[in-house]
Each structure stands twice: as structure tokens, then as C-alpha cells.
């Protein structure tokens, strides 16, 4: 084998090997949002979490190896009401001293019939309690990275022991997230 052939094979292998590999990317706080809405005394109220961190591996051509593992800091809950935020930090709600992060990680990512749309199946851990979740999301290129925009999905707060036996707080809450990752 001559040198030109060897260099061609090495270049070809390296190029296509790297092109198909899923390079880990990380969430960017400034372009990401984790939002919730719940009824309190029958009135919708909501808030956001920040402090998003994690690792995302995503290549639409290699979904079986795609993975998401992201966390938000539970102490960052922000409802635009400092008194309520302090209340939510307590043991009855998010118990932020004992459980400083809320974690979401994938177990399977599937394509859908619509281009750019995918289905996330994975787990959500709040207060050390892990439950399975499924929702659809869209991926678009943005600002040199990817924006993962999830559809709203509903969880039962009691499944995670959030809010105790409060009768003024609805059991179900909607979560939505958009994550910019680079």
C-alpha cells in the first residue's frame, strides 16, 4: 500500500468517524427555560427553575445512542413572589437543603413521523423520587447550537411528595422546557 492510499484511508476514517460520533454538548443557561404551571386555589400560577447543567448527546441519524441528562437547582425556584419561593424551598415542598437538584435523564429517544420532532422517554427525579415521563420535543439549530423545545407534559406533584396534603394546590402541574445546548 502506498503512502497516498494510506493517508486517504486514515483521512476518510477519521472524517467519517468524527462526523458520526455524538459530541457531548451542554445546556446554556441564558437560552434555556424550565417552567411549571399549577393551580393554587383554582388560579393558575407558575414559576421557573434555573441553574441548568448536564450533558446532551444528540444526532438525529443515530437516535439509539442519543442521551439527555440534565439537572436544575431546586433552590432557584422563582415564582416572582419571594415569600412563596421561600415557602417552596421548605421540606414540605422541594426540600432544597436535602434535595438540591431536580434531574431528568433519557432512557430512549425516538423519531416521529414529522421531521425535527422526537419523543423523549426517561425519568424525572424530584426529592429523590424517580418516575417515568414521556413527551415530544422539537430540535432546531440556533446560535451555533441546538434548541430542544419540549411539549408540555403533566406530572402529579403527590407522586414526588411535593406540597404534602395541601387541598388548595392542584395535584397535577404542567412542565415545559426549552434547552439551548452548545
The pLDDT, as a whole number, for residue 45 is 97
pLDDT-derived band of residue 80, with 50, 70 and 90 as boundaries? very high
Place of cell 415569600: 83
pLDDT-derived band of residue 1, with 50, 70 and 90 as boundaries? low
The pLDDT, as a whole number, for residue 20 is 41
Name which of 55, 154, 61, 142 is nearest 105 in CA terms. 55
Establish if 11 belongs to a structural domain: no
Establish if 5 belongs to a structural domain: no
Establish if 2 belongs to a structural domain: no
Establish if 171 belongs to a structural domain: yes
The pLDDT, as a whole number, for residue 140 is 96
Least confident among 15-24, 59-68, 131-140: 15-24
- Residues 116-125 pLDDT 10s: 999 999 999 9
Owning domain of residue 71: 22-181
Establish if 55 belongs to a structural domain: yes
Establish if 7 belongs to a structural domain: no
Instruction: Give the count of domains, the chain.
Output: 1
DSSP code string of 83-128: HHHHHHTSTTTT-TTT--EEEEEEEEEEE-SSTTEEEEEEEEEETT
Establish if 54 belongs to a structural domain: yes
**Domain harbouring 31, CATH code:** 2.40.128.110
C-alpha cell recorded at residue 21: 460520533
Amino acid at each position: 500500500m502506498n503512502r497516498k492510499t494510506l493517508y486517504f484511508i486514515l483521512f476518510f476514517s477519521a472524517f467519517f468517524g468524527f462526523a458520526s460520533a455524538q459530541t457531548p454538548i451542554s445546556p446554556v443557561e441564558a437560552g434555556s427555560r424550565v417552567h411549571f404551571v399549577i393551580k393554587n386555589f383554582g388560579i393558575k400560577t407558575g414559576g421557573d427553575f434555573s441553574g441548568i447543567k448536564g450533558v446532551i448527546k444528540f444526532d438525529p441519524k443515530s437516535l439509539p445512542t442519543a442521551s439527555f441528562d440534565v439537572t436544575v437547582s431546586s433552590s432557584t425556584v422563582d415564582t416572582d413572589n419571594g415569600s412563596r419561593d421561600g415557602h417552596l424551598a421548605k421540606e414540605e415542598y422541594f426540600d432544597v437543603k436535602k434535595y438540591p437538584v431536580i434531574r431528568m435523564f433519557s432512557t430512549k429517544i425516538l423519531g416521529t413521523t414529522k421531521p425535527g420532532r422526537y419523543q423523549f422517554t426517561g425519568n424525572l427525579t424530584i426529592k429523590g423520587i424517580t418516575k417515568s415521563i414521556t413527551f415530544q420535543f422539537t430540535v432546531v439549530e440556533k446560535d451555533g447550537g441546538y434548541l430542544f423545545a419540549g411539549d408540555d407534559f403533566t406530572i402529579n406533584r403527590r407522586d414526588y411528595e411535593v406540597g404534602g396534603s395541601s387541598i388548595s394546590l392542584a395535584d397535577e402541574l404542567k412542565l415545559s422546557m426549552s434547552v439551548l445546548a452548545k
